[in-house]
Amino acid sequence: MRSSILNILRDCPIVSVNVSNIVDFPLLNLKYCPNLKHLAFEIPSTLGAIPSLHELDYSEDRVELENLKISASSRLSRIPINVFTHPRSPLSISRLVCLGACIRSLEDHDTCQLFIDNSRNTLRKFELWIFGPDHFHMLVPTSPTSINLNSCSQLQCLSFHVPRSVVAPFLWLRDLFETIPNDNCLEEISLSLSEAPSTGWQALDLTLSGPKFGGLKAIILPVLPLRPKRKIPLLLSKGIIRVSRKEFKY
């Protein structure tokens, strides 16, 4: 299997790789894919041993990823961030355009922030899944949020997937939205909820209707709250609310 994978990487002009249910995947061998732009970690997989990056031969020809997704089946904090940031590594996320990540533990927050920080100049879409045990406080730290987007001035689209087990998600999301810089390019925010929260709508309304988010063209929700004219009057008056019922997927 290992030799077959290496042969494919060397001989094919690969643009996209989906790592799914593979043991000891040779991550650094993606250096043989100069055209690689999209990398995804799906069904539980493990990575092969990573050699000391200080010992690698330096090369200016790095694989510049544009799209990286780590699904709920993989632990974000187990993906070695230095593989994508070390100057001697053949892989780079310095030009990443789209980042999709899943939070399954508090450690994942810190790793997620490292990925964000290292792609801050080019990141345009950030998609986040909150997934894990039933107790929300085990997943999300108390305010202020540990995920900070204040250096991501090029962000155009934010997407959040929140399961039923998360209590009062809008309060945490409000804190995250407040980290977005005043000078931003944000056009769309999408919230995928397994069920509509009973609280926090007013906080969401006040935050996203402010001048910082004047460039928003759409806020996509799966459902409106009860008495929407009372709970989100400011956003309704701006005419940017869109209702789109999508299946919640991990």
pLDDT of residue 99: 95
State residue 250's pLDDT score: 44
| Cβ burial, residue 226 (10 Å; 0-12/13-18/19+) | exposed
Q: Rounded to an integer, what distance in angstroms lies between the CA atom of residue 129 and that of residue 176?
A: 14
Nearest to 175, CA basis, from 224, 127, 208: 208
In a domain, 149, yes or no: yes
Tell me, what's the pLDDT at 75? 59
The answer to whether residue 239 is domain-embedded is: yes
Helix (H) or strand (E) holding 150: none
Residue 144 covered by a domain: yes
Per-residue pLDDT tens digits of the chain, which is 250 residues long: 556 666 676 667 889 988 877 777 778 888 888 889 999 886 555 566 565 666 666 566 789 999 998 875 555 666 777 788 888 888 899 999 999 988 777 777 788 888 999 999 999 999 988 765 544 444 555 554 568 999 999 999 999 887 665 656 777 788 889 999 999 999 999 988 766 677 788 888 999 999 999 999 999 988 888 888 999 999 999 999 999 865 545 4
Task: For residue 115, give both structure tokens.
Answer: 């990925």
The CATH number covering residue 138 comes to: 3.80.10
Instruction: Flag whether 159 is in a domain.
Output: yes
Residue 139 included in any domain: yes
49-66 core/surface letters (b: 16 or more CB in 10 A; e: else): eeeebeeeeeeeebbebb
**Contact yes or no for 115/82 (Cβ under 8 A):** no
Structural contact between residues 152 and 181, judged by C-beta atoms closer than 8 angstroms:
yes
In this prediction, residue 236 carries a pLDDT of 94
Q: Identify the domain containing residue 205 by its residue range.
A: 64-243
Is 45 part of any domain?
Answer: no
Answer yes or no: is 24 within a domain: no
Task: Report the distance separating Cα 122 and Cα 94, nearest Å.
Answer: 7
How far is residue 151's CA from residue 157's CA, in Å, rounded to a whole number? 15
Name the DSSP class of 180. Answer: S
Task: Specify whether the backbone of 45 is left (phi greater than 0), alpha (psi in -120 to 50) or beta.
Answer: beta
State the pTM of this model.
Answer: 0.84
State residue 3's pLDDT score. 65
Q: Per 3-state DSSP, what percentage of the chain is helix, strand, and coil (rounded to 5)? A: 30, 20, 50
Residue 225 lies in a domain: yes
DSSP codes of every residue in 202-224: HHHHHHHTSGGGTT--EEEESSP
Strand partners, 159: 127, 190
Q: How many domains does the chain have?
A: 1
